[in-house]
Structure 1
């Protein structure tokens, strides 16, 4: 009996879904490859489409690059991405699949699990082999608990939070083996017809879910996000908001951070006028460093902030932005 057949054994290679847009690899994919190569297993990078940047993927950890063309449906549908992953899994050598813990990535993970019977863990900060099982670590209950989730079946699908690992290229990586595959679109993929696509307005700010720095405005900004945006631009970060701010129409709902919005895990989170309600904390609890500014010294946000400033936002925010701009020259 091999390891894939023996339930509970963390056997096989690691497959990484390489998320990309117009041929450009997203930063989260390079983080996943870095994580995968540290697990000591052969790493298979799965690229949906052709012309994969094999050298870049190999530098970050890929031993084998699979270019998978999906015929019969739009290749960007999550169902089509699952078809591509299944084409790679059919060889029976993969025991762990890593995907980004984004809206699309979590949907891919769920669809793949339904089709294969795999165990799924999302919002993960790390993966290791413990007691013979692939074990994923994550925070739950609004960051109140650290958990270790062991997948006891033969296949684990793990969605890793952005910035859980720093993407690092290695020198002298060998040329990867490039395998070209064709996957027939499933009924789920064929059932969808894409009639048009509208590109989001261009922005120099990073995507909210992937940003290393996020500046969030809450009720305390009283409808004025200009200072939030200015600080975010000085720090090279993204702009987020609490549910109250989006419900009031001060900013679009796509900026909402929380359990019912976008889940983020930046290296730096700055909350401006954010109370720190539990539903908001649930979407940002994985932040590495939390800075809060609020005029209420009893605001819940100060219970989990690394650095807190009690003060008037109209005074603190301009001073903070000006000082950071001065230090950055």
Structure 2
């Protein structure tokens, strides 16, 4: 692993759901020995990947090839999948959580509950993994599951993954579009926000619609964080954040992790991978300009999205660091973007432990 000064800490990956769909816990050796995907231990060692948010995600029965083909067009509006019931979501979420815990048991990573844990994993040369849930379908209405998963290490949660849940409403994959689409959080969603605040579970705003975003801003007393989102001013996709949203995040002393998904990077919103690193830097420049240099990081969406050809896996992350340097970012700023800002905002959310 690279030294702490050069380590990358990332706001989002989907490797757990990829391993789950490949056969589940029996396939974890692929993470350790090398797998056909973006995130694994050999690639982490090659790229200086120190860790990040490992998402538990319950997939919908979507034809991904058809979805991506539609998103290559000049405009699109993909219908959202049907909601998933708790009874169906819970076994999938537990299976993916078990994959994460098995990887820890095998010494491939460390599930981190505090910033001190993350720094300790860096020092030990282990991947520092944050247990994250993307879409809260597996959380029951009484929030008992939330407490149990917290005890198992859950420290970050997104109330929705675009499709609706009993907690709130997400944004469809629509371009061009405002994120101001539909209703916000339900009363149960507001209860979820408050309980996450009490426990010290970070709330991820990435897939919420704009009304839900403002509901979290109203009811949460923690920094506002979007783990993998981009600038709507550059790419007017429903998944991206407006400058008003970015300013609210800045006022809360929160953070945004830059998403590598090409449809959210490209000004034409198309899901095509021929995206130069200069376009990634255009979003970083805008986010830094609005949020300040202490509130921007990376949120790649590796193993869950089509990404630029130069950033196909975590082994390619040094290319982005080099591009930052050539673009004129100095060493202190690069360190903030690569990992220090994530540790700062997690410390504010979780406490100083």
Alignment TM-score, normalising by the size of structure 1 = 0.29
TM-score, normalising length: structure 2: 0.27
**Structure showing greater Rg:** 1
Higher-RCO chain (CA-CA 8 Å, sequence separation at least 6): 2
- Structure having the higher helix fraction is 2
- Identify the structure with the greater strand proportion: 1
